A and B are shown apart, each in its own frame.
Chain A
Amino acid sequence: MNIIVFSIISAITILSAIGVISSQRIMHSVLSLAVMLLSVAAVYAILNAEFLAVIQVLVYTGGVIVLLLFATMLTRSDLQLKREQPSDIKPAVAAASIFAIGLLFYIVGNNWKSLGPAVVGSVKNIGMLIFNVKKDVIPFEIISLVLLAAMVGAIFLGRKEAGQ
């Protein structure tokens, strides 16, 4: 894969991710997140995972972003948003950087050269995996149950109680 394409897509991803956490207005954050998710979809695409790229666009940009927009509007977060204080971000910087250093130790220390581009993923092959009784059908069905439970839970938590 072309290093240039990868660099461009990575740059967009990283910048939009930074945009998510640094924009003044929460609405901008949400939109940055949409950009970031789309560019991650692009990353999947250049990794030959076109099925995941499609799911990424459908579920994230189609579902989660809409959800976040609703949440933003319902909680009126925009009105209360203020810049984080230095005292708030100090532990965050420390923890995140220590963790990043820890991870990078592992990545840099290992020899990844042996792994080159390999088999192309296809929707058919993934389907063969997911719907194969001997492979992943049970986790797949359980995921559907989890989604159902999440839905019920969300409705339960989100509805107004009778007295309120």
Chain B
Amino acid sequence: MIEVTVFYYLVLSVIIFSIGAYGMLSSKNGVRLLMSIEIMLNAVNINLVAFSSFQGNLTGQVFAAFTIAIAAAEATVGLAILLALYRSFGTVNLRKISKMRW
């Protein structure tokens, strides 16, 4: 039986993070962009918790708890911004919200 070391968790974290990054960069829909960011935050949390667990230091878990709190705050503010954008542009298609260009 192969032992599950921290390495596996890190690879898992990288994969999930990259998926989230790809989603963040590619999605047209604002809501999906927010979801992608949540995915990335979760990847980071996996990292933190994995190291915490394997090193026997609880600080990483405390950090992860803080991250979750911040992520929640980010989600609320992000959604409120999205609503505001929707009200002024009539869409949440991020490709169309490109007033600040050359």
List residues of A whose CB falls within 8 A of some B CB.
1-3, 6, 10, 13-14, 17-18, 20-21, 26, 29-30, 33, 36-37, 40, 43-44, 47-49, 51-52, 55-56, 59-60, 63-64, 67-68, 70-72, 74-75, 77, 80-82, 84, 88-89, 91-93, 95-97, 99-100, 103-104, 107, 112-113, 115-119, 121, 125-126, 129-130, 136, 139-140, 143, 146-147, 149-151, 153-158, 160, 164
Contacts and interface: CB of A to CB of B under 8 A. Distances in A.
A140 B69 CA distance: 10
A93 B92 CA distance: 22
Nearest to A11: B12
Contacts of A93: 22, 26
Contact of B72 (A14, A63, A77, A115): A63
A33 B39 contact: yes
Interface of B: 1-12, 14-32, 34-36, 38-39, 42, 45-46, 49-56, 58-59, 61-62, 64-66, 68-77, 79-84, 86-87, 91-93, 95
A67 B86 CA distance: 16
A151 B74 CA distance: 10
Contacts of B62: 126, 129-130, 136
Given A1-B4, A33-B38, A75-B31, A84 B61 contact: no
Contact of B29 (A77, A125, A155): A77
Given A103-B17, A136-B62, A158-B84, A68 B34 contact: yes
Contacts of A6: 4, 8
B38 A154 contact: no
Given A6-B8, A126-B65, A154 B56 contact: no
A55 B82 contact: no
A157 B65 contact: no
Contacts of B65: 51-52, 55, 126, 130
